């Protein structure tokens, strides 16, 4: 084909804008929409059914503390609080250990996926009368 001769082939018709958003015949877009919807639903369900820490529930329902402890640790609610502030917020601890470090333990109850002999505790370590470390501790009860 020479440059000076006209091309008799018809021009390819351009897609309209709405054809790019037509989900009826595009399986890749349908799968993407399904996966995105599943992600949004799963994230929403996790957010709505996750138990948030509240002082009232912590004190009134000690056997459900294992549901709230993740929020308590992740949000650093206790960090840099004094012993009196912690006791006012959480109530009296189950145990107070005094060695080279001051440690308070709060019993969390039995988590549903644990063996019957595993009991979880909230471990709070104080340095200079301020909370330095908050974590979970498992102890085997005999």
pLDDT digits (tens, 9 = 90+) for 11-69: 778 877 776 666 555 677 778 788 999 999 998 887 777 677 778 888 887 777 877 88
Looking up tokens 């960090």 gives 79
* 3-class state of residue 26 by DSSP: coil
Question: Is pLDDT of 127 > 90?
Answer: no
pTM of the model: 0.59
Looking up tokens 């006012």 gives 88
pLDDT digits (tens, 9 = 90+) for 56-115: 888 887 777 877 888 888 888 888 888 889 888 888 888 888 776 788 888 887 666 655
How far apart (Å, rounded) are the C-alpha atoms in residues 107 and 139? 10
CB 124, CB 78: distance < 8 Å = yes
How far apart (Å, rounded) are the C-alpha atoms in residues 15 and 53? 54
């Amino acid at each position: 084909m020479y440059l000076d001769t006209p091309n008799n082939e018809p021009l390819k018709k351009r897609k309209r804008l709405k054809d790019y958003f037509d989900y009826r015949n595009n399986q890749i877009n349908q799968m993407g929409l399904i996966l995105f919807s599943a992600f949004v639903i799963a994230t929403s369900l996790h957010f709505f059914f996750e138990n948030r820490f509240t002082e009232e529930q912590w004190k009134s329902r000690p056997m459900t503390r294992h549901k709230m402890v993740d929020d308590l640790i992740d949000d650093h609610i206790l960090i840099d609080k004094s012993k009196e502030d912690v006791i006012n917020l959480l109530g009296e601890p189950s145990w107070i250990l005094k060695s080279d470090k001051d440690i308070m333990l709060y019993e969390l109850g039995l988590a549903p996926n644990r063996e019957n002999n595993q009991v979880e505790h909230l471990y709070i370590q104080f340095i200079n009368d301020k909370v330095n470390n908050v974590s979970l501790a498992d102890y085997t009860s005999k």
